Amino acid sequence: MREGPVAYQGAAGAFSEDAALQLCGAGALLRPCRTLEDVFLALVRGEATAAVIPVENSIAGDVPGCRALVARYYLQTGKTLMLPIVHALVASSEIRVDDVREVHSHPMALAQCRCFLAAHPRMRSVPAFDTAGALAELMRQPSRTAAAIASRRAAVHWGGVVLQDGIQDRADNCTEFWLVTPTSLTAAAFTAGGIGSKI
């Protein structure tokens, strides 16, 4: 188990949280962050001793900004993980798939479910900061015509109803995650360049 907080992007039940637990151990102290920018800020400000970040998905490709920021702020890459990603359509209550008009999720998740969304043209994609976060928000404001794309694990955590599982374009969908830590050069690079405008 890693000592000190480990930052990750997303709400409880996010795929990044799952990756962090697998990379750092079930007893790791996790620090959820709303955006990837917040994850890097937590690292360079010393609010976290490590971070778990998604780098590349087998369907949607590179996660924008991650590799460049790892290099720019002299972060050290440790363990890596290829995490299988299975997306589910989750609602706040039992409704029909055909009644869903809005689908909320992270843009990368929406991109991994293009075939499903194309097969349901009446569903409008609504970008959100996170898969699990989209579901959490839906559970706070229930709707009979909205759903989120998230993991079954997130559905269990937030009490959502899985309408359809395995809606990603390919069964072998996976995302590569890196465990990164700051180095002696990280703070100086942050001071020199800033981070908020560059992610």
Q: What residues are labeled active site?
A: 175, 177
Burial of 184 (0-12, 13-18, 19+ CB in 10 A): exposed
Q: In whole angstroms, what is the distance from residue 21 CA to residue 35 CA?
A: 19
Q: How many C-beta atoms lie closer than 10 Å to residue 171's C-beta?
A: 8
- Token pair for residue 1? 């188990």
Q: What are phi and psi of 103, to 5 degrees?
A: -125, 115
